[in-house]
Structure 1
Amino acid sequence: MARTAHALHILVKHKDQAEDIIKQLKKGAKFQTLARKYSNCPSGKKGGDLGEFKKGQMVPQFDKICFTGETLVPHLVKTKFGWHVVKVLYRT
């Protein structure tokens, strides 16, 4: 079982916007560029990079996708903060 993960994310207020970001990513847009442009999270300035974090460190819905979802593909996650487009880079 993975104990740490490294992820990028883009935080927005509306599901429609998050879905549009995923469409842009599937067409070849760079995750870091979209994070700088759209993310409401301070990590947006760093291209959405959250760095490496431990299991249980993030809110449950976010944590679940980071430790069970497929890596290197964008996922849509709803939390109390809004809608996240999450891309897990790796797990250790």
Structure 2
Amino acid sequence: MSRRAAALHILVKTQKQCQELRTQLEQGANFQQLARKHSICPSAKRGGELGEFKQGVMAPAFDKAVFKGPELQVQGPVKTRFGYHLIKVLYKR
């Protein structure tokens, strides 16, 4: 049976911008508000919400961060062919 997860993410073009957003999150900024304002992914309209997805569906580096990393903690910058991501795993099963 394949594993599943749900996550939020913020996708930006540069590692520098990604790190700046991470710093804001560490200082208490709201993840979903930053996603709406800065993410270049269509999921920005939903505050970065990706919904539930199966392991192996996302880009390899993204998938590894989601399924090997901790829940409810911001991870990143994670580089994929799309850009740089900050990822917050909501749950895994």
In which range does the TM-score fall when normalised by the shorter chain?
A: over 0.9
Q: Could you say which residue in structure 2 is the equivalent of 1:66?
A: 66
Deviating beyond 3 angstroms after TM superposition, the runs of 4 or more aligned structure 1 residues are: none
Residues 22, 86 of structure 2: 8 Å contact kept: yes
The CA distance in 2 between the partners of 1:33 and 1:78, in whole Å, is 21
Kindly report the root-mean-square deviation, in angstroms, between the aligned alpha carbons of the 2 structures.
1.3
Corresponding position: 1:54 with 2:54: yes
Specify every segment of 5 or more residues in structure 2 that has no aligned partner in the other structure, as ranges: none
- TM superposition score normalised by structure 2: 0.95
What TM-score does the superposition give when structure 1 sets the normalisation length?
A: 0.96
Q: Percent identity?
A: 57
Matched AA of 1:46: R
Q: Report the equivalent of 1:87.
A: 88
- Matched residues in 2 for 1:46 and 1:87: separation? 14
2:7–2:50: 8 Å Cα contact kept in structure 1?
yes
